[in-house]
């Protein structure tokens, strides 16, 4: 078995259908299996997979276990020498999966491989990043990378200066399409369940690098990623989780001082956006409710960040009180 394609789904039935169809139609010349983990969807996703794609392996959870934990379920039963984490809201183009496998085969030092990801309108979607740090967080909080996207300093964390047209070693590739060598995954362990969603691929890539592996990007394979199909169902909680996941990484892999500085930076980032949304709620009657809710999301998130950062997390009970570098491996499941 060359490859195990692992797709986690939560209430994205129609996108999942199109994704699976593209996988089977566009993947040639390799032996692969598809494993779908459904996190207790209520939109008929599981039934659709059973009826429309009986060749796929379907795992049905009784609750939403999160992206990391569900992927770990899939990896635990996977048979492929490569593992592909693939979002349900993606479309495979022109045999992209087989191209990524061929690319990885020619580079045995690569633990993970990412591909060229396009928005639905064909524009490039940034999917390569640097690891979180105080400097990177400070620069990204200013949003100057949006004003000066080609500046290598302001755009360093999101690599906005890069056109994505060449093969390159990067820190992180996005989890919407992340091809991972089984040998590397066995060496460093599975995804860390404490992330629930967001940041798990960053943590995994960091562990790969710490153990001497590389994360590579290739433009030879292309997919479309619609993005945000899961998070828009619970906007507030996912917004908080995004920031909370950054703090988990900083707590695990950076100094205590760096962690405290980043807590302050994220709180400031959230707080300065409150006035804008309150003003918008005042003058835009048609968007008043949504704008007010957005302002409250930022304000409450700021408070949580300063007072009790674990309240930002969707699975805060899984985050232990003692999060040190020495206990990172102990908290993860192995094959």
What 139-145 contacts at long range (C-beta under 8 Å, 24+ apart), as own/partner pairs, is: 141/265, 141/266, 141/268, 141/269
pLDDT at 52: 98
Going by pLDDT thresholds of 50, 70 and 90, the confidence category of residue 281 is: very high
For residue 269, which of 235, 313, 231, 306 has the smallest C-alpha distance? 306
Going by pLDDT thresholds of 50, 70 and 90, the confidence category of residue 219 is: very high
Going by pLDDT thresholds of 50, 70 and 90, the confidence category of residue 331 is: very low
pLDDT, mean of residues 103-129: 97
Going by pLDDT thresholds of 50, 70 and 90, the confidence category of residue 140 is: confident
- Reported as a single tens digit per residue, the pLDDT across 64-78 is 999 999 999 999 999
pLDDT at 142: 86
Cα separation of 67 and 89, whole Å? 14
pLDDT at 232: 61
Instruction: Spell out the domain ranges in the chain.
Output: 3-124+163-225, 231-331
Of the ranges 230-234, 236-240, 246-250, 319-323, which one carries the lowest mean pLDDT score? 319-323
Q: Fill in the DSSP letter of residue 44.
A: S
SS3 52: helix
Please check the confidence at residue 329 and state whether its pLDDT lies above 50: no
Q: Does the domain formed by 3-124+163-225 have CATH 3.90.1150.10? A: no
Beta-bridge partner residues of 181 = 82
pLDDT, mean of residues 241-257: 96
Of the ranges 18-22, 179-183, 275-279, 325-329, which one carries the lowest mean pLDDT score? 325-329
pLDDT at 322: 43
SS3 294: helix
280-303 burial code (b ≥16 CB/10 A, e <16) = bbeeeeeeeeebeebbebbbbbbe
Where residue 244 falls (left for φ over 0; alpha for ψ -120 to 50; beta otherwise) is alpha
pLDDT at 327: 43
- Indicate the average pLDDT of the chain: 92
pLDDT, mean of residues 6-29: 97
Between 235 and 299, residue with greater pLDDT: 299
Tell how strand 214-225 and strand 110-118 pair up. parallel
Extended beta strands in the chain, E state: 3-9, 32-38, 57-60, 82-86, 90-93, 110-118, 128-129, 168-170, 172-173, 177-181, 214-225
111 and 180 in contact (C-beta within 8 Å)? yes
């Amino acid at each position: 078995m060359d490859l195990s394609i692992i797709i986690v789904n939560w209430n994205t039935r129609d996108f999942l259908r199109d994704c699976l169809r593209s996988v089977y139609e566009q993947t040639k010349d390799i032996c692969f299996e598809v494993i779908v983990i459904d996190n207790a969807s209520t939109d008929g996703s599981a039934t659709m997979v059973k009826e429309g794609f009986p060749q796929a392996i379907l795992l049905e959870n009784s609750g939403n276990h999160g992206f990391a934990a569900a992927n770990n379920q899939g990896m635990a039963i996977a048979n492929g020498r490569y593992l592909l984490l693939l979002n349900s809201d993606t479309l495979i183009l022109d045999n992209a999966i087989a191209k990524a496998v061929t690319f990885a085969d020619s580079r045995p030092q690569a633990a993970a491989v990412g591909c060229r990801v396009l928005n639905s309108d064909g524009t490039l979607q940034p999917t390569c990043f640097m690891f979180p740090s105080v400097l990177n967080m400070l620069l990204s909080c200013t949003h100057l990378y949006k004003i000066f996207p080609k500046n290598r300093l302001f755009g360093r964390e999101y690599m906005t200066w890069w056109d994505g047209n060449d093969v390159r070693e990067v820190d992180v590739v996005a989890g919407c399409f992340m091809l991972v060598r089984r040998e590397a995954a066995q060496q460093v362990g599975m995804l860390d369940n404490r992330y629930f969603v967001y940041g798990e691929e960053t943590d995994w890539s960091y562990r790969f690098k710490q153990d001497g592996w590389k994360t590579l990007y290739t433009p030879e394979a292309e997919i479309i990623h619609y993005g945000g199909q899961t998070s828009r169902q619970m906007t507030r909680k996912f917004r908080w989780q995004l920031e909370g996941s950054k703090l988990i990484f900083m707590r695990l892999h950076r100094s205590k001082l760096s962690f405290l500085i980043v807590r302050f930076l994220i709180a400031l980032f959230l707080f300065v956006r409150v006035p804008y949304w309150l003003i918008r709620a005042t003058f835009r009657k048609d968007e008043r409710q949504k704008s007010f809710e957005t302002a409250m999301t930022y304000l409450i998130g700021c408070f949580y960040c300063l007072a009790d950062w674990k309240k930002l997390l969707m699975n805060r009970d899984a985050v232990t009180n003692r999060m040190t570098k020495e206990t990172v491996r102990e908290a993860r499941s192995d094959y």
